[in-house]
Structure 1
Amino acid sequence: MADETAAVTGLRGVSPGELGGVMKCGSTSGEGGDFAVCGWADHGSVVLAMFPARSVDESAGLLRQIRESVQTRD
């Protein structure tokens, strides 16, 4: 993810949790300051989330919690 103002830096793989797939997080900055960016992808979903004023590690944990709350497998 990049545009004319900034790009995601320090991108690294993080644990996707029990639902599997691939999850990566990094950081960027914008008009509002620095923020973490995390995303996951698996066979049926792709999500990108931005977390202002949070660390990459904290953001990864929050995205795992969100995912486990909203995604289901039948």
Structure 2
Amino acid sequence: MEKNIASRTVESVTSAVPLLLKFPERRFWVDYDVEADVLYISFRRPQQATDTEMTEEGILLRYKGDDLVGITILDASTRSQ
């Protein structure tokens, strides 16, 4: 990886640290599908969700029973802080 790209990557990750530390779970996995523009955040692997609730903002909350096991963010690239 080119040093300039590595430096920008480290800067991006570092700026996200405060937000990541606020997650309700200590372990989580993040996947991004560029073509679909969907960000997947899983609090369990495998998720094995049994129910999904969509918020007004177009975010899918994935549950297994009463436990939140994942979040799916549609149109992820259009969302900002």
| TM-score w.r.t. length of structure 1 | 0.29
Structure number having the greater strand percentage: 1
Higher helix share: 2
Structure of larger gyration radius: 2
- Give me the TM-score of the superposition, normalised by structure 2: 0.27
